[in-house]
């Protein structure tokens, strides 16, 4: 399965101060990791723009960043509501047995008995453990427990094998 070319890692949610800093709601974990990836591809509607990050740091529950070419509050305000994307290649290689959520989206899910359940639509953090949302003839929520429920993930084949009752 080919990897997604771009990954949505955050959204510019506001401005910070008067010198052109933007507030960013980061989807990365930890949230300040978003600052490790430069350039960002900013997208809003059909408009896109590549920008380099000059500086950045955590600020409360957000992250603030200074973008190249942005030097005042008005310029920063123009980027409010823009989504932040990076190229998949900017991510470090995942360790063996670890996966980026973006790599799991779209995998075909089947039981150890060969019953097709659908495809991975999304993943959620629930506190106790992450779960995958599988869309097929109906929606299923399956705990992401590798070695127990998630038996095999084959990114090249685009398939995930689960030990899960197809009636559940």
Written as six digits, the tokens of 168 are 């559940």
Q: Mean pLDDT of all residues in the chain?
A: 92
The CATH superfamily label for domain 6-89 reads RimM (2.40.30.60)
Alpha carbons 82 and 84: distance in angstroms, whole number? 7
Residue 17 has pLDDT above 70, yes or no: yes
Residue partners of 27: CB distance under 8 A and separation at least 6 = 8, 9, 10, 34
Alpha carbons 160 and 6: distance in angstroms, whole number? 22
Query: What's the pLDDT at 97?
Result: 84
Written as six digits, the tokens of 44 are 């809003």
Query: What's the pLDDT at 120?
Result: 96
Which overall architecture, per CATH, does domain 101-162 show? Answer: Roll (2.30)
Query: Domain limits of the chain?
Result: 6-89, 101-162
């Amino acid at each position: 399965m080919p990897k997604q070319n771009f990954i949505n890692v955050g959204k510019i949610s506001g401005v910070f101060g008067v010198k052109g800093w933007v507030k960013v709601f980061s989807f990365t974990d930890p949230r300040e990791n978003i600052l490790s990836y430069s350039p960002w591809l900013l997208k809003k509607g059909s408009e896109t723009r590549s920008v380099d990050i000059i500086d950045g740091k955590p600020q409360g529950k957000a992250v603030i960043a200074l973008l190249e070419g942005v030097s005042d509050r008005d310029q920063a305000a123009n980027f409010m509501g823009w989504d932040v994307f990076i190229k998949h290649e900017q991510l470090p290689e995942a360790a063996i047995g670890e996966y980026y959520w973006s790599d799991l989206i779209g995998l075909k899910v089947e039981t150890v008995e060969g019953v097709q359940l659908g495809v991975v639509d999304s993943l959620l953090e629930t506190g106790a453990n992450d779960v995958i949302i599988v869309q097929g003839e109906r929606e299923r929520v399956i705990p992401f427990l590798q070695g127990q429920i998630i038996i095999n993930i084959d990114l090249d084949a685009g398939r995930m094998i689960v030990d899960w009752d197809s009636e559940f």
